[in-house]
Amino acid sequence: MYGRIIVAVDLEQIEQGRALLARATSFLDAGGEIRLLHVLEEVPGYIAAELPGDISERRRAAAAVELRAMIDPNEDVRVVHEVRHGPASGQILQAAEDSGADLIMIASHKPGLRDYFIGSTAARVIRHATCSVLVER
């Protein structure tokens, strides 16, 4: 069905990410690729000033380890992982464009008050994606 799938994973909701990955494998064409993507939000400057200088790289490395752990080496599916920095919706959309994705899969949560004012990540991805988007709830 799809040749390239982006699976956006929030590592704080790892079980949702595992479920999305399992579902993505059933949608993938033979010879296709799944890209597990986690986006680290930027740390505000006033907080970053008080943190060790290498905190950004340590966060990236820890996220990469968690994403790698999600990949089943016995599965006959090409799965790669990527960690990006920045606003989640923008980075998900950019990753989809960079990889030529046919489908973005993302989990949604129950919206909080903040989401009603500025919108959730999933809602922003849906509005701006140039490919299909599957939102898992």
| 24-42 pLDDT tens trace | 999 999 999 999 999 998 7
| 42-75 pLDDT tens trace | 766 667 667 776 878 888 999 999 999 999 988 8
Domain boundaries, the chain: 2-136
Q: Token digits for 16? A: 């949702």
Dist. CA 121–CA 107, nearest whole Å: 9
* Residues sharing a CB contact under 8 Å with residue 21, sequence separation 6 or more, in sequence order: 7, 9, 34, 36, 70, 71, 79
pLDDT at 90: 96
| 81-102 pLDDT tens trace | 999 999 999 999 999 999 999 9
CATH number of 2-136: 3.40.50.620
Dist. CA 35–CA 6, nearest whole Å: 5
| 102-123 pLDDT tens trace | 999 999 876 665 555 445 888 8
Nearest Cα residue to 16 out of 134, 79, 109: 109
| DSSP 8-state assignment for residue 71 | S
pLDDT at 117: 47
pLDDT at 118: 45
